[in-house]
Structure 1
Amino acid sequence: MKRLAPEVRSEVAAAVQRVLDHGWYVLGPELEAFENEFASYTGARFCIGVGNGTDALELALRATGVRPGSRVATIASAGMYATTAILACGAIPVWIDVQPGTSHMNLEQLSTARPDLQAVVATHLYGQMEPMPEVLDAAGSVPVIEDCAQAHGASLQGRQAGTWGIAGCFSFYPTKNLGAFGDGGAVITSDAEIAGTIRALRQYGWTAKYASSVQGGRNSRLDEMQAAVLRAKLPYLDRWNQRRREIAEAYGLVERPS
Structure 2
Amino acid sequence: MEPRKFRTLFISDVHLGSKAAQTDLLLDFLRHHEAETVILVGDIVDGWRLKRSWHWPQGCNDVVQKLLRKARKGTRIVYIPGNHDEFLRDFPGMHFGGIEVADRIVHEMADGRKYLVLHGDQFDVVVHNARLIAYLGDWAYDTAIAINVVLASIRRHLGLPYWSFSSWAKLKVKKAVNFIGAFQHVVAEEARRAGVDGVICGHIHHAVMEDLDGIHYVNTGDWVESCTAIAEHADGRLELITWLVPLTTDKDRPESASVLDFKREADMQAA
Q: What is the TM-score when the length of structure 2 is the normalising length?
A: 0.26
- The structure richer in strand per residue is 2
Larger relative contact order (CA 8 Å, sep ≥ 6): 1
* Rg comparison, structure with higher value: 2
